[in-house]
Amino acid sequence: MFNTTNQAITNHDTEALIIGLYEAPKETQTVYETLNDTWNGQLDELVKSGDLSHQYGNISKLHTLGQMPAQRLYVVGLGNRNDLTVHGARQAFGKLFKQLAEDHVHHASLALASLACDNATPYVEAIGEALAMAPYQLETYHTDREEDRVDVTSLTVLTDDDSIIESAQTGYALGNGANVARHLVNLPSNLLTAADLAVFAENIANKHQFEIDVFDREQIEELGMGALLAVNQGSEDPPRFIVMRYQGLETWEAPVALVGKGITFDTGGYSLKGKDGIVGMKMDMGGAASVIGAMDAIGHIKPETNIMALIPATDNMVSHKAFKPDDVIVSMSGKTIEIRNTDAEGRLAMADAVTYAKQQGASKIVDIATLTGGVVVALGDQVTGAMTNNDAWYEELVNAADTEGELIWQLPYYDVFKKQVATSHIADLNNSPGRKAHAVLAGAFVGAFAEDTPWVHLDIAGTAMAESEHDLGPKGPTGAMARTLARTLMNQ
pLDDT of 36 higher than 60? yes
> How would residue 50 be classed by pLDDT, with cut points 50, 70 and 90?
confident
| CATH code, 484 | 3.40.630.10
Give the residue-averaged pLDDT of 391-414. 98
Q: What is the pLDDT of residue 26?
A: 62
Annotated binding residue 284 = yes
Q: What is the pLDDT of residue 252?
A: 98
Please give the Cα distance from 312 to 260 (Å, whole number).
7
Q: Are 196 and 88 found together in one domain?
A: no
Domain assignment present for residue 163? The answer is no
Q: What is the pLDDT of residue 25?
A: 57
Q: Are 194 and 291 found together in one domain?
A: yes
pLDDT of 145 higher than 90? no
Q: Are 326 and 234 found together in one domain?
A: yes
Annotated binding residue 452 = no
- Percent helix / strand / coil, the chain, rounded to 5: 40, 20, 40
Nearest Cα neighbor of 19 from 132, 109, 100, 98 is: 109
Q: Are 135 and 220 found together in one domain?
A: no
The answer to whether 400 touches 465, Cβ cutoff 8 Å, is no
Degrees to nearest 5, angle at CA 168 with 183 and 476: 25
Please give the Cα distance from 10 to 165 (Å, whole number).
22
Nearest Cα neighbor of 463 from 475, 442, 478 is: 478
Q: Are 400 and 477 found together in one domain?
A: yes
Q: Are 76 and 192 found together in one domain?
A: no
HSE at residue 377, side-chain half, CA atoms within 13 A, is 10
Q: What is the pLDDT of residues 282-330, one digit of tens each?
A: 999 999 999 999 999 999 999 999 999 999 999 999 999 999 999 999 9
Q: What is the pLDDT of residue 158?
A: 95
Give the residue-averaged pLDDT of 230-250. 98
Cα torsion angle, 397, 399, 404, 410, sign:
positive
* Burial class of residue 139 (count of CB atoms within 10 Å of its CB; 0-12, 13-18, 19+): exposed
Radius of gyration of the chain (CA): 24
Backbone angles phi, psi at 416, to 5 degrees: -60, -35
pLDDT of 165 higher than 90? yes
The answer to whether 210 touches 204, Cβ cutoff 8 Å, is yes
Q: Are 262 and 362 found together in one domain?
A: yes
How many percent of the chain have pLDDT more than 90?
90
Q: Which residue has the higher pLDDT, 441 or 146?
A: 441
pLDDT of 149 higher than 70? no
> How would residue 144 be classed by pLDDT, with cut points 50, 70 and 90?
confident
pLDDT of 175 higher than 60? yes
Q: What is the pLDDT of residue 474?
A: 96
Domain assignment present for residue 446? The answer is yes
Stated as kind and residue range, the H or E segment containing 296 is helix 286-301
pLDDT of 404 higher than 60? yes
Nearest Cα neighbor of 259 from 353, 400, 395, 364 is: 353
Tell me the average pLDDT of the chain: 95
Single residue among 128, 158, 188 that ends a domain in this structure: 158
Give the CA distances from residue 52 to residues 19, 46, 117, in Å, rounded to whole numbers and listed in that order: 12, 5, 22
Please give the Cα distance from 183 to 195 (Å, whole number).
16
| 431-434 contacts, C-beta under 8 A, 24 or more apart | 431/337, 431/338, 431/339, 431/340, 431/341, 431/344, 431/347, 431/348, 432/340, 432/341, 432/344, 433/340
> How would residue 117 be classed by pLDDT, with cut points 50, 70 and 90?
confident
Report which DSSP code applies to 149.
-
Furthest CA-CA distance within the chain: 84
Single residue among 158, 190, 218 that ends a domain in this structure: 158
SS (H, E, C) 98-147: HHHHHCCCCEEEEEHHHHCCCCCHHHHHHHHHHHHHCCCCCCCCCCCCCC
| CATH code, 138 | 3.40.220.10
Q: What is the pLDDT of residue 430?
A: 96
Q: What is the pLDDT of residues 453-464, one digit of tens each?
A: 999 999 999 999
Strand partners, 477: 465
Report which DSSP code applies to 53.
-
Q: What is the pLDDT of residue 29?
A: 81
- How many domains does the structure of the chain reveal? 2
Please give the Cα distance from 322 to 400 (Å, whole number).
40
Please give the Cα distance from 151 to 105 (Å, whole number).
8
Q: Are 179 and 257 found together in one domain?
A: yes
Backbone angles phi, psi at 74, to 5 degrees: -110, 130
Q: Are 334 and 401 found together in one domain?
A: yes
Annotated binding residue 343 = yes
Domain assignment present for residue 239? The answer is yes
DSSP state letters, 336-402? EEE-S-TT--HHHHHHHHHHHHHHTT-SEEEEEE---HHHHHHHTTSEEEEEES-HHHHHHHHHHHH
> How would residue 20 be classed by pLDDT, with cut points 50, 70 and 90?
very high
pLDDT of 154 higher than 80? yes
| Number of other residues whose CB lies within 10 A of the CB of residue 171 | 27
pTM to 2 decimal places: 0.97
Domain assignment present for residue 166? The answer is no
Q: What is the pLDDT of residues 203-213, one digit of tens each?
A: 999 999 999 99
Annotated binding residue 237 = no
Residues marked as catalytic: 273, 347
Domain assignment present for residue 169? The answer is no
Q: Are 111 and 247 found together in one domain?
A: no
Q: Are 153 and 182 found together in one domain?
A: no
> How would residue 118 be classed by pLDDT, with cut points 50, 70 and 90?
confident
pLDDT of 266 higher than 60? yes
Nearest Cα neighbor of 489 from 237, 209, 256, 323 is: 256
The answer to whether 205 touches 271, Cβ cutoff 8 Å, is no
Range of the domain at 305: 174-490
Annotated binding residue 261 = yes
CB crowding 173-210: b at 16 or more within 10 Å, else e: bbbbbbbbbbbbbbbebeebbbbbbbebbbebbeebeb
Q: Are 184 and 150 found together in one domain?
A: no
Q: What is the pLDDT of residue 218?
A: 98
Domain assignment present for residue 168? The answer is no
